[in-house]
Chain A
Amino acid sequence: DAKTTQPNSMESNEEEPVHLPCNHSTISGTDYIHWYRQLPSQGPEYVIHGLTSNVNNRMASLAIAEDRKSSTLILHRATLRDAAVYYCILNYGGSQGNLIFGKGTKLSVKP
């Protein structure tokens, strides 16, 4: 299975942009890049996913490197509510049941 590498933790200031990196050097051509986050005492929450092109939604933006070996989740203005563990996951072929959650990046947001 293709794996991802994320920093264990990151800090940000409130109302500043946050760039969460993810390396996936063994990604295959049909692997989708998924991002989920888990707030304290809650279930994981879908954030965004993409294949090759950059993606935007109301929660975040996903920037995918041209060679697809890395990606960056961008929170445009961090709020205290964005403090969570962020997981970068490769979904093989877009098939179901293949989300393997690693340890993720714990994001702390300072007021």
Chain B
Amino acid sequence: DAGVIQSPRHEVTEMGQEVTLRCKPISGHDYLFWYRQTMMRGLELLIYFNNNVPIDDSGMPEDRFSAKMPNASFSTLKIQPSEPRDSAVYFCASSQTGTSGGVRHGAQYFGPGTRLLVL
């Protein structure tokens, strides 16, 4: 099992440039999550998808951020234009709906992250 794959692993860009982060979830997982981690704010959920459909994007900081999931095996997080305050580690995670006693639960499996630095 390859796990969640993210690319690039590191990205350095200049303010104002477009940044695209990519994620391949674990095959068969029906949920995909994008998180951002900084020292100041910790780990924050940005958006998540179920069966390729965005379910909750309330964590997306502003309109400069957008995410898509065109198919079950690929998702992108785009920042346009990028700003220095966007510098962070961005994680993608996936999970599979499970049930126990009729209640849904799901362990999330995280990728290695993309470390973004906006100068």
Residues of chain A touching chain B, judged by Cβ–Cβ distance below 8 Å, are 30, 32, 34, 36, 42-46, 49, 51, 91, 93-97, 99-103
What's the Cα separation between A102 and B50 when bound, in Å?
Answer: 24
A79 to chain B, nearest CB (A): 21
* A–B Cβ pairs within 8 angstroms, 13 of them: A32-B103, A42-B113, A43-B112, A43-B113, A44-B93, A51-B101, A94-B105, A95-B104, A96-B104, A97-B31, A97-B33, A97-B55, A99-B108
- Evaluate contact between A30 and B31: CB separation under 8 angstroms: no
* Identity of the chain A residue whose Cβ is nearest the Cβ of B113 in the assembled complex: A43
B residues apposed to A, CB below 8 Å? 4, 31, 33, 42-43, 45, 48, 50, 55-56, 91, 93, 95, 97, 100-101, 103-113
Closest 3 CB pairs of A and B: A43-B110, A94-B105, A101-B43
Cβ of A94 and Cβ of B91 under 8 Å apart?
Answer: no
Shortest CB-to-CB span from B96 to chain A, Å, is 10
Determine chain B's interface SS by DSSP, over half rule: strand
Most buried by A among B43, B48, B97, B104: B43
**Min CB–CB distance A6 → chain B (angstroms):** 13
Cβ-defined contact, B48 with A32, below 8 A: no
Residue of B nearest to A48 (CB): B107
A102 and B105 contacting across the interface, CB-CB below 8 Å: no
Beyond the given pairs A44-B43, A103-B42, 19 more chain A to chain B contacts, judged by CB atoms under 8 angstroms and listed by A's residue number, are A32-B105, A36-B108, A43-B4, A44-B110, A45-B110, A46-B109, A91-B105, A93-B103, A93-B104, A94-B106, A95-B104, A96-B50, A96-B55, A96-B104, A97-B33, A97-B55, A97-B56, A99-B45, A99-B108
* B108: min CB distance to chain A, Å: 6
**Which residues of chain B come closer than 8 Å to A51, judged between CB atoms?**
100-101, 103
Q: Nearest A residue to B104 by beta-carbon distance?
A: A94
**B107 & A49 in contact (Cβ 8 Å cutoff):** yes
Most chain B beta-carbon neighbours within 10 Å: one of A42, A46, A94: A94
